[in-house]
Chain A
């Protein structure tokens, strides 16, 4: 198990009149090589939860284990965990600050005092991994880039640390359709080709259905549902109560089923629905006359 959360409770401003319990008795496991989606309304505790994954917040109760060890056990371990668990915040481009893309990406490894060649190699590789051309962008100002490019520079700034677990909090929020598609494809690539373990927090059920293999649903600081996208999206009522919706393409399958077609209604992506409808409707049309 790469990461494990046991009985995690987080209380903000404890002991004050503003005390808020953001997470309650949460348990979860992130397997090596998995790709997990976390969904829930604003304020359901998603961001608080992922900030525990690399020790940005200390638990009020409970434990966070990285490769079986409590990350708060000793300081050196915590430092190591922060390198191995890369966290990309919401609107990360707001945190770009250097004059050159190169320096922004290299920022996280400056402290390692690597030989210049090695540092350069790592920056180059990180930019390549987000499909930015090293030569073309390294000397440019991050502020001269498009929204999608800026976000990819910020992502390269996390990847340069060579994390084993990449945690992305709303990576496509505010991007235009092309920017959104590119980021999602890059995440899938990093997972498939690069073998990265990925946790993705998102408001977009379409993105989650397309990318995630495991899903966690949060409501009021608790995990109320977990399973494969098929298992989770099958619980439409519960999701609606949690302020979420099932991807709309699923309604097409359910509608066809009601109309008498014998098909699988546990499909939530455009590609999946296309294949299933072709199988059934196409098949029906080919029936002997």
Chain B
């Protein structure tokens, strides 16, 4: 069983997508993973490696074919826990346009709490607080479809935050955004983790974003093949490349220089570190 500090505990998880009349392919193939409360974990892996399938198990959008997923100790298999689990674990997806339902920012964020049947005053409080947290309070009366991609995605995050989740799961939230939008979303998520203590699970194809997490999980063919702090994981450049992944550009540069005989530390994460390493 998981310890008291576990937000999410995954034990021997197997999952197979059912296909009519066919033997389905195993999308998850024996996953064991513990996510501590307040942790910031990034998940990387090529398309089809099982990242999104795993993420959907965290709030019982999918339930295990075999094994167990526990959220705050509650099994996702038990229907009686479903509402409680979905309230504790909020999901944000790739395309912000698919996640917006209302005609103003404020109403959009209120959608979830309204469905909880909360009193109007509490709804107003939660909406105001959530918009403040994603730095969108000034735009609360704007029409969501006129916002930039980064702003829309922050509204989507506010909509989830208004449910007061303990854990936020983001599945490639910046894939469709421009550089400024990506930075806005990343900063928002970092702040929610650091200042509000919300547990974050962040799926991404951008290694520059993954390196900001405290812990990094690498998936391949439905398994976890590597797990550790970004510094440790990105030091395994050759393994990552063989899995169809890469390391952040500066780490790549550092590893190439090391390969050419320069005395560079193998676990460089950013430009400043590389400069220091080269000058020492």
Q: Which residues from chain A sit less than 8 Å from chain B, CB to CB?
A: 41-43, 146-148, 173-181, 203, 205-206, 243-245, 247-249, 251-252, 255-256, 259, 270, 273-274, 277-278, 281-282, 285
Contact = CB atoms under 8 A, between A and B. Distances in A.
The secondary-structure label for the interface of chain A is helix
In the complex, the 8 A-B pairs of residues with the closest C-beta atoms, listed nearest first:
A255-B275, A178-B244, A251-B271, A243-B180, A177-B246, A176-B46, A42-B178, A176-B47
Given A43-B148, A176-B244, A281-B262, A244 B207 contact: no
Contacts of B46: 176-179
B78 interface: no
Contacts of B3: none
Most A-side CB within 10 Å, residue of B179, B252, B279:
B179
Given A181-B246, A278-B257, 18 more contacts: A42-B177, A174-B94, A174-B175, A174-B176, A176-B47, A177-B246, A179-B46, A203-B178, A203-B179, A248-B248, A251-B275, A252-B250, A252-B275, A255-B271, A256-B279, A277-B257, A281-B262, A285-B262
B252 A270 contact: yes
A278 B252 CA distance: 14
A255 B260 contact: no
A179 B253 contact: no
30 contacts: A42-B178, A147-B47, A175-B47, A175-B205, A176-B46, A176-B244, A177-B244, A177-B246, A178-B46, A206-B249, A244-B180, A248-B248, A248-B271, A249-B249, A249-B253, A251-B250, A255-B271, A256-B275, A259-B275, A259-B279, A270-B252, A270-B256, A274-B257, A277-B257, A277-B262, A278-B260, A278-B262, A282-B261, A282-B262, A285-B262
B95 to A, nearest CB: 9
Interface of B: 45-48, 94, 148-149, 172, 175-181, 205, 207-208, 244-246, 248-250, 252-253, 256-257, 260-262, 270-272, 274-275, 278-279
Contacts of A177: 46, 205, 207, 244-246
A278 B257 CA distance: 7
Most A-side CB within 10 Å, residue of B178, B252, B270:
B178
B213 to A, nearest CB: 17
Contacts of B208: 248
B275 A205 contact: no
Nearest to A177: B246
Given A177-B205, A252-B253, A42 B149 contact: yes
